[in-house]
Chains A and B, each alone.
Chain A
């Protein structure tokens, strides 16, 4: 099924964005590329999902944004983690670890 390759689990996009930005400030295109390549070309984020999410995180104060020049020499918006963003990332990551460990144990035990 195509969806299994491309689509994200609901609610995970925020975590992916935050963790990508942990490496340093980036603009939308870079974030999209990073998620694609770091997931081993498993996860693909559509622009239609990414930009609303970026802006939502900015409104919430988890990200801050600065205008800079992109590789294409264009005015581009660079996002970086705020202090609240760092904290949220740590919390979400711990939560995700817990869920994935649990999931893995159950799936292994049931032998599926």
Chain B
């Protein structure tokens, strides 16, 4: 074999040897004839004659040393390349359509892969499991893309339960937990930062089994209540080590402050590790017991009602996931008794006991964004797949046309003795070359597209970081696409070409029928894409235009972090009031106020209320959204006051007041005015008097209805943390930013961490997914439409060519050009109509997939579907115009004389 391979590369040596062997044989033969008494010249001639056809047997000798199939395929490839290069227009159209089709699929697949299947860069990721709670009580609700849904799982469990699990060393060789995650205030060298933090148990790094890039990791000894003797330690990510510390080794041991607590840096994670939640990267890891020191009032360690720890474990070697699942399911009722609320009884108790602790593989980590992003990605993958199918149908169609055009070439090859298989392989190799060119370029396109897609779908100012480096999954997917394209698009045309060339069947008629069928399918897919895209665009428009009850322009939100700037708590309200006074005097500023919640940016507080007018409110009825604001809030947010008046400014309050929204007032008091002077209170606190009624306002998501809300006056309590300043201004935003920045600095005396945002930015990030989906579907639809139009134009051109003679005769017999044109157009319509009908059936069966993304648009909206169908019809007619014109202008004399 080795010898053989060597000869394959050393062709000239092989030929030389064969030649020498022949020559030496000839010489001996000649010698023999000379001994028989022939003259040397005659002897040489006889010797040569006796050998017969030397080329023939030399070739068969040679074949022993070479790989005939390999060479044949190599020949096919060179021949295919030559053919494709000859027809540049055909090749580039096909390669571009395949590039987009394959590229779009690869890009979406790559994102899904990195989100769902990429293993974590840790030791033996297959052994990692996370333990979740399933079979949750029926009353539980979770929020997904702004919609309330019944949750399937809870990622967190109470700490006492985590401790019980940690005892099960028969199942796990190690267990770790993550408590809080979020942006923490971190001060490094007197500079305020907000870093994405993970609060972890000391066992976190040992369980993962990774090695630090510098320094050392947190260990259980660093995670003890009250802190280790040398003080709290943290681990920082490679990214932070690079961006803030410039990879200096002195970073190890550096003193930093997190939420006003002193820490020192222990070590740095490896570059490829940014936490175990794909999609949301972590920058700093602190021990869970330091969290306890930071927020002593939060008694998570002992309180069984606080579901705060996300547990993950490494399976003991030899134990498999199924065993652990069975054991945990069995143990669940008794384990859950450890964290039972003693007040539970009846159904609630039954529901609590029914909760199951369920281990699932954490090989790829557990991504908090999976639930909100993967359905979108699957939808996109479906759309991208239909685009690729369209491109493949288009290619099939073009190849079928070529099969007819190349009839004579193939007939000659078959006549010269090429086997049908050989010709079929040759034709398939051509298709494979096209698919590979499209796929290769598509892969490059996908690398760019994944990043663009990630950036466009990112929400809330945080970029989603996913490891989208090329891996074998993606390459295997690409190879699958390329071979599928070759099989789907290449097989029929190759067979048809051979059948036509060997005259087995009268090709053109079946051919036209087949190609018509392909065009019908193209139209069906186009209708589905066109309709889907229009629905998404319309839904996006509704989302953008739906009234939220708030100002959307000329408003800025400033969120200064006074607490972490070490400004004493008691000074903060004074600073806030001074800022309002100072800003309200500025000419460019129309209104200013403080609020605890930035509308549409995040969470809302809920509280249960008590009202003398409604003494028997049930638990659910009494839960109401509460919002702490200052005077001027309604003016700054552009919310209308329907009855009563705004809160008084600081120092002017007489009694504690509340303002309620119109829907709250109507729910409990029939009319807005009826709510005035009614009383309410929260959690047995002071009584508040309703002194105003405001218009309804959306707070959670533009998709949601405006929640019935109670506003309270911040100046009454002055205890809310993390207030934001709203400034409604005239003129450009930049000077207002500078002005507010300077005012905050002068009032506070120090520069706090300041986050600035605007309603437009918040809406933009809120609707990022909807917008991306709408834009991509629209792009896919345009692509589909243009492919279908060229498909129909190509087919009509082909039929006109085929029926040249018939048309010529009809023209000669007196048919007008108009008759002919109408005939062609009628043919186009006869293809488009069944396509549209098929598309309607297809879309109807797929409508469920869209409903989740639509806002105030019905998936069956007749206007949209009629419009989409009309667009397709018009496209078909426009595409038919050129062949129709060509048919009508045929010169009958010339046509009939030809052939």
Residues of chain A at the chain B interface (Cβ within 8 Å): 27-29, 46-49, 51-52, 54-56, 58-59, 70-72, 74-77
Contact = CB atoms under 8 A, between A and B. Distances in A.
Interface stretch (B50-58, B162-170, B200-208, B305-313): B50-58
The secondary structure that dominates the B interface is: helix
Interface in B10-58: 17, 20-21, 23-25, 27-31, 51-54, 56-58
Contacts of B20: 74-77
Contacts of A75: 20, 23-24
The secondary structure that dominates the A interface is: helix
9 contacts: A29-B28, A47-B25, A48-B53, A48-B60, A49-B57, A70-B28, A74-B23, A76-B24, A77-B21
A69 to B, nearest CB: 9
A80 to B, nearest CB: 15
Contact of A51 (B21, B27, B28): B21
A52 B4 contact: no
B313 to A, nearest CB: 57
Given A29-B29, A74-B24, A48 B64 contact: no
Nearest to A77: B21
Contact of A55 (B53, B54, B64): B64
B181 interface: no
Given A52-B63, A58-B64, 9 more contacts: A27-B24, A28-B25, A29-B28, A47-B57, A51-B58, A51-B61, A55-B64, A55-B65, A76-B24
Nearest to B7: A59
A54 B64 CA distance: 10
B3 interface: yes
A77 B20 CA distance: 8
Contacts of A48: 52-53, 56-57, 60
Contacts of A52: 57, 60-61, 63-64
A47 B65 contact: no
Contacts of B65: 55, 59
Nearest to A49: B57
A70 B23 CA distance: 11
A29 to B, nearest CB: 4
Contact of B31 (A54, A58, A71, A76): A71
A112 B232 CA distance: 108
A47 B52 contact: yes
Nearest to B23: A74
A33 to B, nearest CB: 8
B262 to A, nearest CB: 77
A28 B3 contact: no
Contacts of A59: 3-4, 64-65
Nearest to B53: A48
The 7 closest A-B pairs by CB, nearest first: A48-B57, A76-B24, A72-B27, A74-B24, A29-B28, A55-B64, A52-B60
Interface string B839-882: 00000000000000000000000000000000000000000000
Nearest to B31: A72
Contacts of A49: 57
Given A51-B21, A77-B21, A72 B28 contact: yes
Contacts of A51: 21, 57-58, 61
A46 B52 contact: yes
Nearest to B62: A55
Most buried by B among A27, A54, A58, A74: A74
A35 B772 CA distance: 82
B602 to A, nearest CB: 75
B61 A55 contact: yes
B28 A47 contact: no
Nearest to A73: B27
Nearest to B52: A48
B838 to A, nearest CB: 58
A74 B25 CA distance: 9
Nearest to A61: B3
Contacts of B54: 47
Nearest to B57: A48
Contacts of B51: 47
A54 to B, nearest CB: 8
Interface string B61-74: 10111000000000
Given A48-B56, A59-B4, A77-B17, A29 B61 contact: no
